[in-house]
């Protein structure tokens, strides 16, 4: 266990559905991230939150909407997705700004999303 | 645009040999470079971080080098074991450590 949990682990949704992915970290970190991992492609950074503020949006389509109510929780709200959005969505957390080796990111197990 | 290349998609070696994985980057001057291991269906797990002013970092059977002139990092696993079979990802990052750009990864298979 990495201290980062994600629910659900698997999700199948139609293109007209609305669903949300949830991430929770128990590590006391102040930065949280959403990544997308598609087959045969590198991990793509989607969003970064530092101290609950969004600091990076990597040109993600508006059908993906993140929410960070506090430093421990991160959501990804999904609506009107396309089949090409099917992928593994990974959440991670880290403690930026600390000295030493504190820049590593701790990943959750991911949510396997299938859009039909 | 920034580009990360890992030498090959797959690397097959015999148990006991040293595995060497390569990560090259262009149009980027990272302050740090991290290596992660990812097993199928799971999230990446952090292995090592090396700073731009460090030439080499070791942890047990793992060794990472960082050559900012060549814009390259090498990741070595000595005395490899079948349990080392996984995909290894390299990720340069900025000074804050928040913006990681991941390579596609190299899938290592160690046969007994």
CB-based contact B100 A105, cutoff 8 Å: yes
Instruction: List Cβ neighbours of A52 (8 Å cut-off, separation of 6 or more).
Output: A68, A69, A70, A71
Instruction: List Cβ neighbours of A20 (8 Å cut-off, separation of 6 or more).
Output: A75, A76, A77, A78
Mean pLDDT is lowest, of A27-31, A42-46, A88-92, B4-8, for B4-8
Buried b (16+ CB within 10 A) or exposed e, B54-76: eeebeeeebbbbbeeeebbbbbb
End-to-end CA distance of chain A: 31
Across chain B, mean pLDDT equals 91
CB-based contact A106 B105, cutoff 8 Å: no
Contacts of B43 in chain A (CB under 8 A): 2, 4, 90, 92, 107-110
**What's the per-residue H, E or C state across chain B?**
CCEEEECCCEEEEECCCCEEEEEEEECCCCCEEEEEEECCCCCCEEEEEEECCCCEEEECCEEEEEECCCCEEEEEECCCCHHHCEEEEEEEECCCCCCECCCCCEEEEEEC
Contacts of B34 in chain A (CB under 8 A): 103-105
Q: Are A104 and A2 in contact (CB under 8 A)?
A: no
CA-wise closest residue to A1 among B66, B42, B14, B29: B42
Return the bridge partners of A36, or none: A44, A89
Contacts of B49 in chain A (CB under 8 A): 101, 103-104
CA-wise closest residue to A78 among A108, A32, A87, A70: A87
Q: Are B106 and B8 in contact (CB under 8 A)?
A: yes
Contacts of A45 in chain B (CB under 8 A): 99-102
- Residue to substitute from A93, A103, A113, interface B, most B β-carbons within 10 A: A103
Distance from the Cα of B102 to chain A's closest Cα (Å) equals: 6
Q: How confident is the model at residue B2 (pLDDT cuts 50, 70, 90)?
A: confident
Looking at residue B96, what is its pLDDT? 67
Q: Residue A39, preceding bond cis, omega within 30 degrees?
A: no
What's the pLDDT tens digit per position in A73-112?
999 999 999 999 999 999 999 986 655 445 789 999 999 9
């Amino acid at each position: 266990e990495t201290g980062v949990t994600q629910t659900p682990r698997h999700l199948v949704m139609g293109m007209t559905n609305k669903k949300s992915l949830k991430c929770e970290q128990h590590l006391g970190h102040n930065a949280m991230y959403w990544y997308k991992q598609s087959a045969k492609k590198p991990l793509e950074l989607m969003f970064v939150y530092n101290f609950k503020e969004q600091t990076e949006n990597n040109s993600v389509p508006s059908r993906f909407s993140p929410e960070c109510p506090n430093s421990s929780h991160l959501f990804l709200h999904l609506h009107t997705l396309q089949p090409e959005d099917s992928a593994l969505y990974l959440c991670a957390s880290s403690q930026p700004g600390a000295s030493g080796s504190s820049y590593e990111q701790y990943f959750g197990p991911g949510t396997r999303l299938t859009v039909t | 645009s920034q580009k990360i290349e890992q030498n090959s998609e797959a690397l097959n070696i015999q148990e006991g040999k040293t595995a060497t994985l390569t990560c090259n980057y262009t149009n980027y001057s990272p302050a740090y470079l991290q290596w992660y291991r990812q097993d199928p269906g799971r999230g990446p797990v952090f292995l090592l971080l090396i700073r731009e002013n460090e030439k080499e970092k070791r942890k047990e059977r793992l060794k990472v080098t960082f050559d900012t002139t060549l814009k390259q990092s090498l990741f070595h696993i000595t005395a490899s074991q079948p349990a080392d079979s996984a995909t290894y990802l390299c990720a340069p990052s900025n000074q804050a450590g928040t913006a990681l750009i991941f390579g596609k990864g190299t899938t290592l298979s160690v046969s007994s």
